[in-house]
Amino acid sequence: MSTNTIAAIGTALSNSGISIIRISGDKSLDVISRIFKSKSQLEPNKIIYGKIVENDIVIDDVLVSYFKAPRSFTGEDICEINCHGGNEVTREILELVLKNGARLAEAGEFSKRAFLNGKMDLSQAEAVINLINAKTRTEARIASNQLGGKFSSEISDIRGKLLDLMAKIEVCIDYPEYYYEEVTVDSMLKTVDDSIEKLQKIVNSYEQGKYINDGINVAILGKPNVGKSSLLNSLVKYDKAIVTDIPGTTRDIVEDRINIGDVILNISDTAGIRDTDDVIEKIGVEKSIKILDNTDLVLYVLSADSLLEDYDKKMLRKIQNKGIKMIVAINKVDKIKKKIFDTVLNELEQINIENIIQISVLENYNIEKLKETISKLFNTYDLDFEHELIITNTRHKDLLNKAIENLDVCKNEIINNTPIDLIQVYIINGMRSIGEILGTDVSEDVINKIFEKFCVGK
């Protein structure tokens, strides 16, 4: 492990109330002693007031905190300088720190040292960057739970039980005169089955986690002049799309992102779907249909004052056949024509449309209900973070699936009475996949790739 003392700005470089320069390494106190002047002595876990000085010139009045190894974030001696926020003064203090024995930290190097020094496992380190990059409250809560060790504890427990089984198998192989009643077909199957079940439950949470992490891809579809662009503008709360009474105004896909509290919506407003001879509009219609290939949810907009056309029914069936989640939003209920409206509802019922919401973009009626329905449809509306474990990391999902695959093979080999020394190979492979998540069985290249995604000061 490197003993170099590193330093970096730990806060955003901008005009603000305070900035923090973080120093970590065995020379942290030496560096600080050369530039920090105070009437008080630095002591662990205390904040001391003083001045940063260069050649008897005061650079800034600051507060300095000192955390003694191993009781610090990185597990090394850490000093943090809290100075006045501002680009120039923050840079000047950092340069002074670097002149006096520290070097500039690499991206994620503080967190990497915390991992290498056993202050956190690899999955917790990845949670740090997820927490920093969180775009919603839900995403932040999931990252916070992972940082707190909820995920690590769960899979460590599974790995521990497999390790215990491995140890008993090893004894049976090396010392066949010993008999472990735990190493029977039934006992091995129970351990492996329980592990598969628990791992699969975690993997099953990934789809929900993916929506929370990456957002839900939402396509607004419907024929011209039903209010698709108006709905987009209402959702994003500004005039993103051009709205006119002229059919076919939207010729291309208009995109935006909104936060609806628990999740991000990646919304695409599409060209009105209809048969047309206009070459440009026709391309727009083709794009509208093509977008279904990468859509999690369709908001299909109808108008309360017009009947369903054959093209509507064709598109609704197409969406159903693709298995895409869908909400039919009947717009313009402020201008409702009851006979037409009842006919539309009856036709939607006949083709088994379940999620129907009456809205009025003009009157802002039921727009919040539409957002709530989207959250409920993707199970993000009322998550129980105290009891539910949700993963959002593709690396974790892939490694858990590898572990499950090996344990599935292991299960079949046990049932087929395969020699016990061959069975243990699949248990080892399953444990190794879990170990890659925790960082106990992972290459240096993977570690470097993970930490290079971090910002310099973290």
From first to last of the 458 residues of the chain, give the pLDDT tens digit: 445 999 999 988 878 889 999 999 999 999 999 999 999 999 999 999 999 999 999 999 999 999 999 999 999 999 999 999 888 999 999 999 999 999 999 988 999 999 999 999 999 988 888 888 887 777 888 888 888 889 999 999 999 999 998 888 887 776 665 555 557 888 889 999 999 999 999 999 898 888 888 888 988 888 887 888 888 888 877 454 434 344 444 444 567 788 776 678 888 887 655 554 444 444 555 565 677 788 899 999 988 888 888 888 888 888 888 889 999 998 988 877 778 888 888 888 888 888 899 998 888 899 889 888 888 888 765 666 666 788 989 999 999 999 999 999 999 999 998 888 888 899 999 999 999 999 988 888 888 888 887 777 77
pLDDT at 250: 42
pLDDT at 203: 95
Mind spelling out the 3-state secondary structure of 382-402?
CCCCCCCCCCCCHHHHHHHHH
pLDDT at 244: 39
pLDDT at 240: 45
- In angstroms, the first-to-last Cα distance of the chain is 18
> Quick one: which of 330, 236, 229 has its CA closest to 270?
229
What distance in Å separates the CA atoms of residue 21 and residue 104, rounded to the nearest whole number?
Answer: 11
pLDDT at 287: 62
What distance in Å separates the CA atoms of residue 294 and residue 226, rounded to the nearest whole number?
Answer: 23
Which amino acid is it at 79? C
Phi, psi of 173, rounded to the nearest 5 degrees = -75, -45
- How far is residue 425 from each of residues 28, 392, 398, 442, measured CA to CA in Å? 46, 29, 20, 18
Q: How many degrees, rounded to 5, is the angle at CA 41 between CA 36 and CA 46?
A: 95
Kindly state the tokens that stand for 320.
């159903």
pLDDT at 48: 96
Sheet of 216-221, strand order: 254-259, 264-269, 216-221, 297-303, 325-331, 356-358
pLDDT at 1: 41
pLDDT at 281: 46
What domains lie within the chain, and their CATH numbers?
A: 6-105 (3.30.1360.120), 125-205+390-451 (1.20.120.430), 214-377 (3.40.50.300)
